[in-house]
Copies of this chain bind each other. A is one copy, B any other.
Amino acid sequence: MANTVQTCFSPALYPLFADQEAIVVVVDIFRATSAICTALDQGVECMIPVAGLDEAHRYKQQGYLVAAERNAIMQEGFDFGNSPFHYMDPAVKGKTIVISTTNGTQAIEAAKDASVIAIGSFLNISALAEWIKPQGRDVIILCAGWKNKFNMEDSLFAGALAGLLLEEESFTTLCDSTITAGYLFERAEKDLYGFLENSSHRSRLKNLKLEEDIRYCLTFNTMDTIPVFHDGGIISLARLVNH
């Protein structure tokens, strides 16, 4: 019997999809999950996602390095925002970093009862697909969206990842969200950057002069790192397996 692929367009809808046996792939392309992938790939040992800024503050007071972003802006008094470039620094190697973002960490929070949560981005999409394929589990792609609304970039990722999985006979879908995301990706794949000209969040980042971040977050397969949420922290799957 084939495994299913479903796409959930908003963390607020996740309870309709929740399945403890499934692999949940959380995605927030601009920019939380792209940043988390980058950080772990750069050697960050663990990222601790927290939903609220209060909790982020408490960690900061305890001496942790803390990343905090709201509405695409790094919050004052913290160490990092959610630009992937913040984590391209040899000084982060081996560190634990607490992270709180507008959408991405809220999505991880929504899915926290799932037994397997992986963190996806275009940066690691092929590695992620290759890892998922032999697991024999259903897959739920959870789009962080923008404040619980549908967004285009996370849906494009869902369409791309679903496409890679559905190439295999061992996966199937009857999920309208997944089929629609696939059509969206087909339309956009030759030029994701140009296609997203019309997306609301992309305009939001553009206004903040984050073009370099956008281009980076739309780059395919720069790494094999697969971040997974385990025991309250996000660590590299390779580290978890070798542990």
The chain A residues found within 8 Å of chain B, CB to CB, are 9-10, 12-13, 16, 146-152, 155, 174-177, 179-180, 183-184, 187, 198-201, 203
Q: Least Cβ distance of A218 to chain B in Å?
A: 16
Give the complex CA separation of A185 and B198 in angstroms.
17
Q: A155 — which chain B residues lie within 8 A by C-beta?
A: 176, 180
Closest to A176 in B: B152
Residue among B147, B148, B152 making CB contact with A179, cutoff 8 Å: B152
Q: Please give the count of copies of this chain that the complex contains.
A: 2
Inter-chain contact B16/A147, CB cutoff 8 Å: yes
Q: A183 — which chain B residues lie within 8 A by C-beta?
A: 183-184, 187
Q: A179 — which chain B residues lie within 8 A by C-beta?
A: 152, 198-199
Q: A148 — which chain B residues lie within 8 A by C-beta?
A: 13, 16
Closest to A175 in B: B200
- List 22 contacting pairs A-B, 8 Å CB cutoff, sorted by A: A9-B9, A9-B150, A12-B12, A13-B148, A13-B149, A16-B147, A16-B149, A149-B177, A150-B176, A150-B177, A150-B180, A151-B176, A152-B179, A152-B180, A174-B203, A176-B199, A176-B200, A179-B198, A180-B180, A180-B184, A183-B187, A184-B184
Give the complex CA separation of A16 and B180 in angstroms.
22
Closest to A148 in B: B16
Closest to A188 in B: B183
Inter-chain contact A13/B16, CB cutoff 8 Å: no
Q: Least Cβ distance of A156 to chain B in Å?
A: 10
Give the complex CA separation of A176 and B10 in angstroms.
13
Q: A177 — which chain B residues lie within 8 A by C-beta?
A: 149-150
Q: A16 — which chain B residues lie within 8 A by C-beta?
A: 12, 147-149
Q: Which residue of A149, A152, A187 has the most chain B CB atoms within 10 A of its CB atom?
A: A149
Q: A174 — which chain B residues lie within 8 A by C-beta?
A: 200, 203
Q: A149 — which chain B residues lie within 8 A by C-beta?
A: 13, 16, 176-177
Closest to A187 in B: B183
Q: A12 — which chain B residues lie within 8 A by C-beta?
A: 12-13, 16
Give the complex CA separation of A183 and B187 in angstroms.
9
Give the complex CA separation of A189 and B218 in angstroms.
30
Give the complex CA separation of A16 and B103 in angstroms.
14
Q: A13 — which chain B residues lie within 8 A by C-beta?
A: 10, 12-13, 148-149
Q: A187 — which chain B residues lie within 8 A by C-beta?
A: 183, 187
